[in-house]
Amino acid sequence: MRAAPAGPVDYLLRTSTVVDSEFELVYLAVTRLAQGAYPHARAALDAAHDAWTRAVLDEVGDPVVARAVVLISDGLYAHAALTSSPPATGAGTGGGPTSDAGTEEPLAFRAPRPGEDVDDLLTLVREVVAMRNARTTDGV
């Protein structure tokens, strides 16, 4: 992650929308164990999150922004994990819309969907980092 050409934040947010890799299978398994009563699984998850937070913090230089970035990554992952399994039971024929059907809703009113690109989020993070840096410089 630290070796990623575009930096840790770019790497973390882009990989958080992918749940088909071997890593994600392991991560999901550890998450499920941690949801049970396995303190070591939970400790392993905490250690992984701390390492990610530290790498992000080194890039953005602000603990609150780093926390927000890691939470956004967790949110992206939660959404991606939710819809990673294929809709195996055929097209929905009953009442109510199936979420994977059309995407005709007005874009501005839609919640995040898995697989969506994260360029706008990365731009926002860069702006926030610049904003916080400018304030720090003002203070000197």
Q: Kindly state the smallest distance separating residue 3's Cβ from its own copies, in Å.
A: 20
Q: Give 137: exposed, middle or buried? Use CB within 10 Å, 0-12, 13-18, 19+.
A: exposed
- Which residues from 38-97 bind its own copies, rule CB under 8 A? 39-40, 42-46, 49-50, 52-54, 57, 63-65, 67-68, 70-79, 81-83, 85, 87-89, 92, 94, 96-97
33 contacts its own copies (rule: CB under 8 A): no
* Nearest C-alpha neighbor of 82 from the set 28, 121, 29: 28
112-116 long-range contacts (CB < 8 A, ≥24 apart) are: 112/75, 112/76, 112/79, 113/79, 113/83, 114/17, 114/19, 114/76, 114/79, 114/80, 114/82, 114/83, 114/84, 115/17, 115/80, 116/17
26 contacts its own copies (rule: CB under 8 A): no
Q: Which of 25, 26, 29, 131 touches its own copies (CB under 8 A)?
A: 131
Question: Which residues make Cβ contacts (< 8 Å) with residue 27, sequence separation at least 6?
Answer: 48
Tell me the per-residue interface mask from 97 to 116 with its own copies, x by CB under 8 A, - otherwise: xxxx----x-xxxxxx----
Q: Kindly state the smallest distance separating residue 133's Cβ from its own copies, in Å.
A: 13
What residue ranges bind its own copies (CB under 8 A)? Answer: 31, 34-37, 39-40, 42-46, 49-50, 52-54, 57, 63-65, 67-68, 70-79, 81-83, 85, 87-89, 92, 94, 96-100, 105, 107-112, 120-121, 123-124, 127-128, 131
